[in-house]
Every structure is written in structure tokens, then in C-alpha cells.
Structure 1
Amino acid sequence: MTDIVESAEVSTLLDELTRLTGREDPYPRYRRLREISPIVRADDGALVVTRHADCVAVTRDPRLGHMPSHMLEFVQPGWADHPALHQLFTSILAINPPDHTRLRRLVSSSFTARRVQALQPRIAEMVQDLLVRMDGDVDFIDAFAFPLPVNVIGELLGVPEADRAQFQGLVRDWTQVLEVITPEVLATADPAAATIREYLAGLAAERRREPGDDLMSALVAAEEDGDKLTEDELLTMAALLFAAGFETTTNLLANSVVALLRNPDQLELLRRQPGLAASAVEELLRYDTPVQLLARVAWEDVEIAGVPVQGGERFVAYLGAGNRDPERFADPDRLDLARPDNAPLSFGGGIHYCLGAPLARLEAQIAIPALLAHFPKLTLAGEPGRRDSLAIRGYTQLPISVG
């Protein structure tokens, strides 16, 4: 039987991961945590898993889910009175069946694979429009990694182009609550969440009056067996889709560019063989995933990592660690764009598997080969600025020279 390890070394390693210096390269710390034990206990009581198989179990076992509302009230009293927390904790990102099942079914009927694939020509156009504007030394985040996904999700939802840029700061302010919840964070996050919601309420009202061929119109009209989204559910869903639609993809693009520039043999391989794009994106997701961890709660007694665990225990699955598990991926710290069977954990699993995964993959598969083809002399032009975040891994600045 595996032992749950609590030790000074475990505390130190987990504490280092909460600091910007420790997060710059978290993978040696993940490796050491795996060596200590498949399951360790953090100082706050949460059980931490770092092996691939255990991350899969935590994300897919139906006996584990998100913290139910009565526990949320105990942990975060008055959460429903804060727009930032209400908009997060009532979304499909944080709710459980049967509510999750119902909402996901309604949204899936609108956010279809066909609708995503239909965006392919438009994404290609957006990519080329951005590439031709880049010259000399630029910040890749500002010039490409942010405007591409925000315009794609804006196009999908039906947000006018002139209105899209404002959402970067608003979403960043709102999603601070994914990291830490303090009065100072809420003072910034609440007004940002309220502004996003107010804008989307106006957009939804317009689509009721004049429906279009966009996702917001489809969500407004979504119905199954007489069931429809309430106004609150509609706005919460639209806010989540907009935020997740560019936040994860922005970081995927930036992480990928840094990984390729630091592994020039793989960059040249993809440049010579753009047909590797699908495999390359999977490997880039595995190698440095934008989503580093997920949290779950055991609703009943379970066994994870060979350990019997009582209901009510909290889990943190480090997806970034599972993606580098040598028991699952040979030579896991090596970037290999042609790696066979390289399916990453990056979009979660089970009933909570990311709805937007196909769209993020499609954007990266189009954008990354196009970037390499357009700029044969692409290089870093300075040290990237790491985003100060534990759950979401990415950059705030990424200076590059495109020649």
C-alpha cells in the first residue's frame, strides 16, 4: 500500500511552486514529488497527486467532483454575493451533475464540432492578417497570441471586433480568483466580472431581437425537450466561454513558441514538415501545458494511488507533472513533435473535459506552422516575462524578433 507522505521536504517543494521563482521551471519539483510518493499531503490538508495514472483517476472518477455549494459556503462564506465568485462557481467549470449534465447538454447542442470546423478558413485569414503586421522586434503576446484567440472566440460568439480588446484585462482581473481569494483580489475581480456580464447581457438582448449565425444566438435559442438556459445560466456560460476561449489558447501559443525556440531541432522539423501540426500541438500541450493543475473533492470513500481515502478529502492533480511522468512518456523532458501516443492531460478528463479543446487545438494547428513558415529567422529578442500564476502557466511578455 502507498503511504500518504507529509514531510518538511514536501512542504518546501509545494511552497516553492507557489512562488514565481519556483514556477519558472516546476518540472524538477514535480519529479521530486513523484519520487517521494505518488500521493502527498499539502499543509492545507489537500492530497496532491503527480503521476499520470493518478491524475487520470482524479479527473475521471465519477466519485470525485467539484466542491458542492454547502462546502463552498463553509470555505468561502458569502461567495454568492460576489460577481466574480458567482460567475465562476455557478458555471460548468465548477458544478456537478445533474446540473452540470443538463447545462453541458444544452451548450453542446450549440457549441458543435461542425461550428468549430466551419471557423477554419476564417482562423487562417486572421493568422495571415496578424503575421503580415509583424515586423522587427515585437511582443508576441500583444502582436499575436492575444489578438488571435480573442478574435476567434469573439467571432464565434458574435462580439463585434471593436469590442474585443477590452476583454483581456477584464478576464485577467476576473480570473485572479482561480489562484487566490482575498478581499484585495475581489475588489478587482468583482467589478471586472460585473462589466463582462453587463456587456454580454446587452449582446444577448440584441441576439434575441435579431438572431445571427453565431454562438450567442445559438445559446439564446438552445432548447431540448422544452428545457432552456435561464438568463443567469446563459450569461454565466457566455462569460466562461469567452474567458476560456482566449486565456488558455493565448498561453498555449506563447508556451509553444518558447518551447520551439529553445528546441531548434524540433522547430526546424515542424518548419520542414507542417503536416506534423496535429502531433506537434499534442506534444507542445504535453511538454508545457497552460493548465497545470485541477482540484477535486471525493464525494465518497475512494482509492487513489493505492490509498483508501475517505469522502470529503480534497485532491489536487498536477497535470503538468502527469504530462512528464516517465511511466507514461519515454524521456518525458524531451520535446519530440513526432512522439507517438502523446495524448496530454491538458484539457482534463471525464465529464468535465474541456468543451473548447477542439477549438484551441485547431487554432494552434493553423497558427504555429504558419508562424514558422512566415518568419524563417524567428528568434527570442529578450527574456520572456513569466505570468505569476500557479494554475495557469504562460507569459505576460514574450519579446521576439521576426526579421
Structure 2
Amino acid sequence: MSSTTLDPLDQMVADYSLVTNGYAGTAPNNPYPMFAELRGKCPVMHGDLLLQNQIPSMADYMMTGRPTVTLLRYKDIHSVLMNPKDWLSYIVGDGFGAAVDNMLLTAMDGEAHDKFRATLAKPFMRTEIRKLVDTLIRPVVMDEFINKLRPNGKADLVRELALPFPIRAIYAYFGFPHDADLLSNLASWAIQVVAAPQTDPELAAVTVPQSMVAGQSMYDTVMPIVQAYRARGEMRADILGHMMQVEHEGRKFTDDEITLFIRMLLLAAGETTTRSFANMMVQLLENPDVLEEVRADRTLIPKAVSETMRRDPTAGAVARIAARDMEVGGVAIPKGTAVLLSIASANRDPEAYEDPDRLWLKRPMRPLLSFGFGPHMCMGMHMALAEMEVALDAMLDLPNLRFDPAYPHPEIRGLNMRGPDAIHVLWD
């Protein structure tokens, strides 16, 4: 797809929908009744729930016939995520890893993962991200989006806010120049890489080569930015500045290594926050009493973010592989078997959460699995949370925010990478 024929935002929406379609397959838009039934009948289920619904699965992305077991209970999934020694992550790289030279932190294991992550962690720590709320995140959200939308009295929140704003904020934090074309090109390429996995062979014949081209285009675009940053010599408190100064195992990163790492981060930088924010807005608009509760007490905003991410997470499933013969819930899982962890099912497990279907802000929380858990917990978590909190706060200032009755009611769909295609709203 060329990015010249379409308005850049329309291109991003088209690429985004391609991802949603790929991860929706034949599954019902609302998969929660299905999860409840499976959890009750066979919480440790032989087979791959994603592939059964014609959805590309991280458990056996290349469809090699790798034996796979699907886990549906909170306690089983939590124990797997907490035990990285026996449950390895390298299979995560089987998928779109090819388009980014398998430079995926999520696919690293053991000491290599822990050391690399520790080197890179500082800019992503909560203390660092919280400093950005007033200097970077809120100004981007307000000046570039909300203040422009406010006089219109209506918007498609996916196209006009959720897709562009997280990308704009994180790109600024990377240390990239502010350039609208650069932003939309990189964002579309990142989504094209994520859209590579398709179970329909005809579609995959298009999306897989396209993802390889997109991955290369990302590299070719980011490399000169990295070189120009280094040439300027002014190391700022951003991600590029950190990566140029930090030492890993006694040496500094080369421009090539920094470019590869930044490209990997770009895959996760925008779209997951886009979907999480969109899913949150759909749930709050569907529950006006809860929306009013947050509007009246803004200290509840972080709870609204975490509770909506529990109730309908974007990353519905992750995968691991057994490093030795294991047992889960009384079922033997031989070495080399993949486990598909249904995060979305775990998040509504009544053994873990009372009245799990309810959107309840005062819910006693336990560790949230929506960002993963354990050593592979999402590194960008604090950035995503800060972005969602700032954007929700801004939304709550729009009076009488409601669905636009002129458009169909938005539906969150997908067994993985869940999200609505559009959210048309009005305000007074």
C-alpha cells in the first residue's frame, strides 16, 4: 500500500483495521461467554484457541503443527508468567520478528534478556515517565488534539485521537524531530509489520512481504535520525540520549544497534495504547454511571484505566514454551509444547475477580496481567498508563460526552489485539 494515495490518518486507520481483522478471525466479537464456558469445562485445553478461530497464534505462528495447550485460568497463567526459567519466550520471535531481524526484547530469555532490559530501563521507569506528564504528554494531548477537536462537538475518537496521539507523544520522547509525514509513515509501517500474521494464505502472501518492506523502510528512516542526533552532540533526557550514553556489558551502543532497538520499540509504541484507550472509552460510554463517577472524582482515573484494561484487554493472549516436562492444573505438558495464555480469559476468571464482568472502579485489584507479568512485563507500561490517564482526563472535560446515534454502536473485536474500528461521539 502506498502512503501517498490516502490521507495519512486514513492510511493508519486502514492498516489498523487490517490488524484487527487478522486477529479477529471467526471468533465472536464478544468472546467472554466462550471463555467462561471453556474455563469451566477444560481450563487446561489441548489445542490452540487462536488457530481454532483462524487467528495467527504466537504459539505456532508458522503453523508447523507444534503441540499447543491453551490456558484459561488466572492462577495457571500467573504461575507460567512468574516462572521464566521453565517457560521460555523465544517463540514470540517466530511471528513478525522476521521483519525486524528478530530484535525483539519480548523474545529474549534468561540472563541476556535481564541484562539488556536493565540497560534500557531507565527512561521507561515510572519516576522518569511521571516527569513527562506536564512537560510532554499533556501539552501534546491538549494543544495538538483536544483543543482542536473541542469546537467541533463531535469526533471519531479512534481516527482523530486514539491512533495519532500516543504515537506523537512517544516519538517526541524518542527524540525524533516533529514532522507529521515522518510520524504517519513510521506509524503505518509499524502497524504493517504487526499485520503480517494472517491465517488466510492469500492475504498472508500480501501482508508478509509488505511487512518485510515496512521493516526495512523503518530502519532506513530511523538510521539517519539516529546519526543526526549523535552528530548534534546534545544529549537530552530522552530515549535516544539515554541509548547513546549508557554502557551495555562495558561498551556503548552503535548507531546500528540503536536503530534496531528503536525500530523494535516502534512496534509496541503506538498501537497497543491506541487500542487500550479506545477500549476504555467504549466501556465508559457504555456505562454512563461509571463515566460520571470518574468525572466527579478524577482521583479514580488510574483505577478506570486499570479496570477497563482488566475487563477488556488489548493483548488478549501471549505464548510461552515448556523448557522441560511440566505440569499445569494436573495436566502433563511435555518439553517443547507451547502454551497459549489467554489473558482475556484470566482477567474475567471468577476465582480471581468477584463479579468479573462488571465495570467496578472500587474493585480490589490483584496483579493485572494485561501488560504481561514477571520479567517480561511491558517496558512501556508506565508511558501507556500516563498517556491514557491524561487523555481520559481531557475527555471528561467534554460536557455530556456520548455516542453519536448517527453511527453504529462501536464493537470491540478480536481474540488478540482487541479494539473497535471507530468510536463516533458527540459532546455539548
Q: Which TM class, normalised by the smaller chain length?
A: 0.7 to 0.9
Q: Which amino acid aligns with 2:146?
A: L
Provide, for residues 160-215 of structure 1, a one-character-per-residue CA deviation record: whole Å limited to 9, x for no partner.
Answer: 22121223321111111356594322121111111111111111111211234121
3-state SS in 2 of match to 1:294: strand
Which deviates more from structure 2 when the two are superposed, residues 218-227 or residues 306-315? 218-227
- After TM superposition, list the pairs within 5 Å mapping 1:68-79 onto structure 2: none
- After TM superposition, list the pairs within 5 Å mapping 1:116-131 onto structure 2: 116-121=129-134, 122-129=136-143, 130-131=145-146
How many angstroms apart in 1 are the aligned matches of 2:425 and 2:88?
A: 41
Do 2:82 and 2:375's aligned partners in 1 also have CA atoms closer than 8 Å?
A: yes
Do 1:48 and 1:317's aligned partners in 2 also have CA atoms closer than 8 Å?
A: yes
How many angstroms apart in 2 are the aligned matches of 1:395 and 1:212?
A: 39
TM-score (norm 2): 0.82
Over 3 Å counting, the alpha-carbon distance change for 1:384 and 1:196 in structure 2 is: farther
2:278 counterpart of 1:254? yes
Do 1:300 and 1:312's aligned partners in 2 also have CA atoms closer than 8 Å?
A: yes
2:288 counterpart of 1:264? yes
Do 1:34 and 1:50's aligned partners in 2 also have CA atoms closer than 8 Å?
A: yes
Do 1:56 and 1:345's aligned partners in 2 also have CA atoms closer than 8 Å?
A: yes
3-state SS in 1 of match to 2:195: helix
Q: Which residue of 2 aligns with 1:6?
A: none
- After TM superposition, list the pairs within 5 Å mapping 1:324-343 onto structure 2: 324-343=348-367
Provide, for residues 129-171 of structure 1, a one-character-per-residue CA deviation record: whole Å limited to 9, x for no partner.
Answer: 2112112332111211122201110111012221212233211
Over 3 Å counting, the alpha-carbon distance change for 1:364 and 1:18 in structure 2 is: closer
How many angstroms apart in 1 are the aligned matches of 2:347 and 2:107?
A: 23
Q: Which residue of 2 aligns with 1:14?
A: none
Over 3 Å counting, the alpha-carbon distance change for 1:40 and 1:270 in structure 2 is: same
Q: Which amino acid aligns with 2:118?
A: R
2:314 counterpart of 1:290? yes
1:124 Cα deviation (Å)? 1.6
2:154 counterpart of 1:140? no
Do 2:29 and 2:412's aligned partners in 1 also have CA atoms closer than 8 Å?
A: no
Measured on the aligned residues, the alpha-carbon RMSD in Å equals 2.4
Over 3 Å counting, the alpha-carbon distance change for 1:391 and 1:249 in structure 2 is: same
1:110 Cα deviation (Å)? 4.1
Where does the alignment leave 5 or more consecutive residues of structure 1 unmatched?
A: 1-16
Do 1:174 and 1:190's aligned partners in 2 also have CA atoms closer than 8 Å?
A: yes
TM-score (norm 1): 0.86
Do 1:106 and 1:229's aligned partners in 2 also have CA atoms closer than 8 Å?
A: no
3-state SS in 1 of match to 2:81: helix
Do 1:285 and 1:346's aligned partners in 2 also have CA atoms closer than 8 Å?
A: yes
Aligned counterpart in structure 1 of residue 196 of structure 2, from 177, 180, 188: 177
1:308 Cα deviation (Å)? 2.7
Over 3 Å counting, the alpha-carbon distance change for 1:282 and 1:92 in structure 2 is: same
Where does the alignment leave 5 or more consecutive residues of structure 2 unmatched?
A: 1-21, 49-64
2:417 counterpart of 1:392? yes
Do 1:204 and 1:220's aligned partners in 2 also have CA atoms closer than 8 Å?
A: no
Do 1:68 and 1:95's aligned partners in 2 also have CA atoms closer than 8 Å?
A: no
3-state SS in 2 of match to 1:261: helix
Aligned counterpart in structure 1 of residue 219 of structure 2, from 194, 197, 208: 197
3-state SS in 2 of match to 1:315: strand
Q: Which amino acid aligns with 1:336?
A: W
Which deviates more from structure 2 when the two are superposed, residues 226-235 or residues 287-296? 226-235
Over 3 Å counting, the alpha-carbon distance change for 1:179 and 1:153 in structure 2 is: farther
1:232 Cα deviation (Å)? 4.5
Do 2:193 and 2:214's aligned partners in 1 also have CA atoms closer than 8 Å?
A: yes
How many angstroms apart in 2 are the aligned matches of 1:61 and 1:106?
A: 22
- After TM superposition, list the pairs within 5 Å mapping 1:217-256 onto structure 2: 217-256=241-280
- After TM superposition, list the pairs within 5 Å mapping 1:156-175 onto structure 2: 156-162=173-179, 163-175=182-194
